């Protein structure tokens, strides 16, 4: 039985025995760092049913618990807080239990219900950029964390592969491309298509400027520029199924998809399924028709269909235009329903989308609830802030976006520069160095982004992220590599349980602090899954690494003369390394064996 459950039962029994009262539940908090103890019982919350001074009640309960439970050694009371200290034997046994648990902290699938996590969802008119990196890292990590918490997960994305923006790239390639392809230029397909999206914008602005200089108002020029008119005509041809237009669309999208896959592979993210807006943009219209019959929606005089959400603190939202065409909300309704039809075990969805869409998802989730779908109660918008660079805001049309591939390459180069300055890689081959630089650089990028609460905006500094000191990915990776070095030097069998029967107090305070942090791993995963927050896992790992380094600096490991203690310390180091590796895997970060 878990120690907290044991203490809870002891407190409830103590309240009944000592005071003749029934207590339903016990409130626990972690013991404050300036107090002595390992777990704190809040006495204040018992004063609703108990009469007397909280200090007196705490002392009586503390004495009862120490007499009842061998795991609790001492107690102290500070005002209304009963601080309990555990025995060394308890910590040793709790640690030994972790050694016998396969995939410690991870929970095997415990339910038949699945969660679908959507992330990435790019446009096929440009490469993935820094904003997409945060999106992908968050979505992939949340999927891994939910899976580790015991639920089945499907990773998906919806690709925005239609619309005027796609036609702008297609038209620019037709006009200015001179037959360029990824093969004959050596460019990645998404980069090539993005090049023509920028080219369209440049040519369009030149047309507008010429029309304005000829005396046309700017607003009118922007609407009537021939290039924009041609792009709009191309969209109409695509919607009408024109063979040549559709073929060009398929060819250029094919280039982009191949480019995206290369970037996903470099970034270390993957998907179980793909949805395409060209397939889903007509979905939802039949659902709106049914909702209209049920009174969920209402029709205005012009024939447009709306939903009134004023009672929920929102406003009226259109779901079908007067000409019968769908809006984004309509297809999002249809796509959600289609996903559950495709994956019947899905009973919840997580949408990884920037915070500029907060309102959209509030409306979407409310509509799906009003339409009566039970799974609509389990929808979550993983809203996140933008990522800025010291150089300022990015703009796709002007070509000032930080390309994801360029950033990944830059991170490896930054890792190489810093590693070489520190002189840490003597004896490495060039091939080994290149692989290590990629691991360190990508780990630095991922950790820097994921350690921050998703809702917060990030100012990303590549050089700061690759620092080998502080709350960074490389610092954590280096600690893992340091432990591997210890394990390689341990030339004895450390698989046996050490014998501490002759000791009454044998653990160093740094060992206890390290074990306490290790024991928090399972509940950290569950909490991170509940809150959809990789930051909780990232910062847990940093605290674990800090606790290990403090232990490493204060006690001897391989130089310890007591053989049982030496075995225990190597086991403890090994377990810390395993938890670091498993925690970083939830963030999509790899660890190097040497560094």
**Statement: residue 506 has pLDDT above 80:** no
Task: Please write the tens of the pLDDT for every residue from 39-66.
Answer: 999 999 999 899 999 999 999 999 999 9
For 441, phi and psi rounded to 5 degrees?
-65, -45
What percentage of the chain carries pLDDT values higher than 70? 97
List residues bridging with 39 in a β-sheet.
Answer: 84
Return the HEC string of 527-540.
HHHHHCCHHHHHHH
**pLDDT above 70 for 398:** no
The more confidently predicted of residues 290 and 423 is 290
Q: Which two tokens stand for residue 208?
A: 């507008």
Closest by Cα among 271, 277, 301, 255 to 126: 255
Assess whether pLDDT exceeds 80 at residue 390: no
Domain covering 3-86, topology: Gyrase A; domain 2 (3.30.1360)
pLDDT at residue 2 is higher than 90: no
CB distance 544 to 518 below 8 Å: yes
| Predicted local confidence at residue 540, as pLDDT | 98
Residue 393 has pLDDT above 80, yes or no: no
Chain-centroid distance, C-alpha 350: 11
Rounded to an integer, what distance in angstroms lies between the CA atom of residue 263 and that of residue 26? Answer: 50
- pLDDT for res 480: 97
d(CA 424, CA 179): 48
> What is the domain partition of the chain in residue ranges?
3-86
**Residue-level pLDDT at 389:** 75
CB 31 within 8 A of CB 77: no
pLDDT at 502 > cutoff 70? no
**Minimum mean pLDDT range among 172-176, 231-235, 401-405, 551-555:** 401-405
- What is the C-alpha separation between 225 and 171, in angstroms, rounded? 14
Pairing of strands 305-308, 316-320: antiparallel
What average pLDDT score do residues 459-480 get? 91
Query: Is the predicted pLDDT of residue 399 greater than 70, yes or no?
Result: no
The reported pLDDT for the residue numbered 388 is: 83
> Token pair for residue 467?
């620092």
Judged by DSSP in three states, 39 sits in: strand
491: pLDDT strictly greater than 60: yes
Nearest to 136 by CA among 270, 276, 256: 270
Q: Are 238 and 249 in contact (CB under 8 A)?
A: yes
Q: 153-185 b/e with 16+ CB inside 10 Å = b?
A: bbbbbbbbbbbebbbbbbbbbeeebeeeebeee
pLDDT score of 427 = 78
Does the pLDDT value for residue 175 go beyond 50? yes
- The answer to whether residue 209 scores a pLDDT higher than 60 is yes
Q: Please indicate whether residue 325 or residue 349 has the higher confidence score (pLDDT).
A: 349
Structure tokens, 443:
């780990």
Q: pLDDT, tens digit, for every residue of 122-154?
A: 999 999 999 899 999 999 999 999 999 999 999
Sheet of strand 305-308: strand arrangement: 298-299, 305-308, 316-320
Helix (H, G, I), strand (E, B) or coil at 519: coil
Q: Which two tokens stand for residue 384?
A: 């996140």
Asked whether residue 339 carries a pLDDT value surpassing 70, the answer given is yes
**CA pair distance 590, 473, nearest whole angstrom:** 10
Residue 1 reports pLDDT greater than 70:
no
Q: In whole angstroms, what is the distance from residue 102 CA to residue 369 CA?
A: 40
Residue 102 main-chain phi, psi, to 5 deg: -70, 135
- For residues 58 and 75, give the distance between their C-alpha atoms in angstroms, rounded to a whole number: 9
What b/e string do you get for 50-82 counting C-beta neighbours within 10 Å, with b at 16 or more?
beeebeebbbbbbebbbebbebbbebbbbebbb
* Contact (CB, 8 A) for 454 and 138: yes
Distance CA 324, CA 298 (A): 14
CA quadruple 301, 302, 305, 306: dihedral, nearest 10: -70
Other beta carbons within 10 angstroms of residue 338's beta carbon come to 16
- 512-556 pLDDT, tens digit each: 999 999 999 999 999 999 999 999 999 999 999 999 999 999 999
> What letter does residue 49 receive in the DSSP assignment?
T
- pLDDT band at residue 400 under the 50/70/90 scheme: low
pTM of the predicted model over 0.95: no
pLDDT at 224 > cutoff 90:
yes
Residue 175 has φ and ψ, to the nearest 5°, of -80, -40
DSSP per residue over 144-174, as a string?
A: HHHHHTT-EEEEEEEEB--SHHHHHHHHHHH
Largest CA distance in the chain: 97
Task: Give 449 or 420, the one with higher predicted confidence.
Answer: 449
pLDDT attached to residue 396: 42
Among 588, 590, 591, smallest CA distance to 134 is for: 588
Quote the pLDDT of residue 303: 95
C-alpha 158/C-alpha 119 separation (Å) is 8
């Amino acid at each position: 039985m878990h120690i907290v459950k044991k203490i809870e039962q002891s407190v409830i029994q103590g309240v009944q025995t000592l005071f003749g009262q029934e207590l339903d539940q016990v409130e626990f908090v972690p013991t404050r760092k300036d107090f002595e103890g390992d777990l704190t019982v809040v006495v204040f919350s018992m004063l609703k049913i108990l009469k007397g001074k909280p200090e007196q009640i705490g002392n009586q309960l503390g004495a009862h618990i120490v007499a009842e439970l061998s795991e609790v050694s001492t107690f102290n009371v500070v005002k209304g807080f009963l601080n309990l200290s555990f025995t060394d034997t308890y910590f040793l046994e709790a640690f030994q239990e972790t050694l016998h648990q396969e995939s410690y902290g991870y929970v095997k699938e415990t339910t038949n219900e699945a969660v679908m996590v959507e992330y990435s969802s790019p446009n096929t008119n440009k490469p993935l950029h820094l904003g997409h990196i945060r999106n992908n890292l968050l979505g992939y990590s949340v999927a891994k964390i939910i899976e580790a918490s015991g639920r089945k997960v499907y990773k998906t994305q919806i690709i925005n592969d239609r619309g005027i923006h796609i036609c702008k790239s297609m038209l620019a390639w037709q006009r200015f491309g001179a037959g360029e392809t990824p093969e004959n230029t050596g460019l990645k397909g998404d980069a090539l298509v993005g090049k023509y999206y920028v080219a369209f914008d440049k040519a369009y602005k030149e047309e507008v400027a010429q029309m304005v200089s000829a005396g046309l108002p700017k607003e009118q020029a922007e609407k009537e520029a021939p290039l924009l008119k041609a792009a709009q005509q191309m969209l109409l041809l695509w919607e009408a199924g024109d063979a040549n237009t559709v073929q060009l669309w398929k060819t250029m999208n094919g280039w982009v998809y191949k480019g995206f896959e290369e970037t996903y592979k470099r970034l270390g993210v993957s998907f179980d399924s793909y949805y395409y807006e060209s397939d889903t943009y007509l979905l939802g219209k039949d659902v709106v028709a049914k909702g209209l019959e049920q009174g969920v929606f209402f029709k205005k005089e012009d024939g447009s269909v709306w939903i009134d959400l004023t009672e929920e603190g929102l406003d009226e939202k259109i779901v079908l235009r007067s000409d019968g065409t769908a809006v984004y909300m309509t297809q999002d309704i249809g796509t959600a329903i289609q996903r559950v039809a495709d994956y019947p075990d899905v009973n919840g969805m997580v949408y990884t989308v920037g915070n500029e869409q907060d309102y959209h998802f509030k409306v979407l989730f409310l509509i799906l609830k009003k339409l009566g779908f039970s799974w609509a109660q389990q929808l979550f918008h993983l809203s996140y802030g933008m990522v800025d660079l010291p150089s300022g805001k990015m703009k796709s049309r002007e070509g000032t976006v930080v390309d994801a591939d360029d950033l990944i390459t830059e991170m490896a180069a930054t890792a190489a520069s810093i590693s070489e300055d520190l002189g840490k890689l003597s004896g490495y081959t060039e091939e080994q160095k290149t692989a290590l630089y990629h691991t360190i650089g990508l780990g630095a990028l991922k950790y820097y982004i994921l350690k921050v609460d998703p809702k917060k905006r990030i100012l990303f500094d590549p050089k700061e992220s690759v620092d080998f000191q502080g709350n960074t990915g490389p610092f954590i990776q280096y600690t893992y590599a340091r432990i591997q070095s210890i394990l390689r030097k341990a030339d004895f069998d450390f698989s046996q349980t050490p014998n501490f029967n002759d000791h009454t107090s044998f653990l160093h305070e740094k060992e206890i602090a390290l074990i306490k942090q290790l024991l928090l791993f399972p509940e950290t995963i569950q909490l991170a899954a509940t809150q959809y927050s990789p930051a909780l896992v990232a910062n847990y790992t940093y605290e674990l690494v800090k606790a290990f380094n403090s232990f490493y600096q204060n006690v001897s490991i391989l130089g310890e003369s007591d053989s049982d203690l030496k075995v225990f310390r190597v086991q403890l180091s090994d377990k810390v390394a395993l938890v670091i590796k498993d925690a970083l895997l939830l963030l999509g970060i790899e660890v190097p064996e040497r560094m």
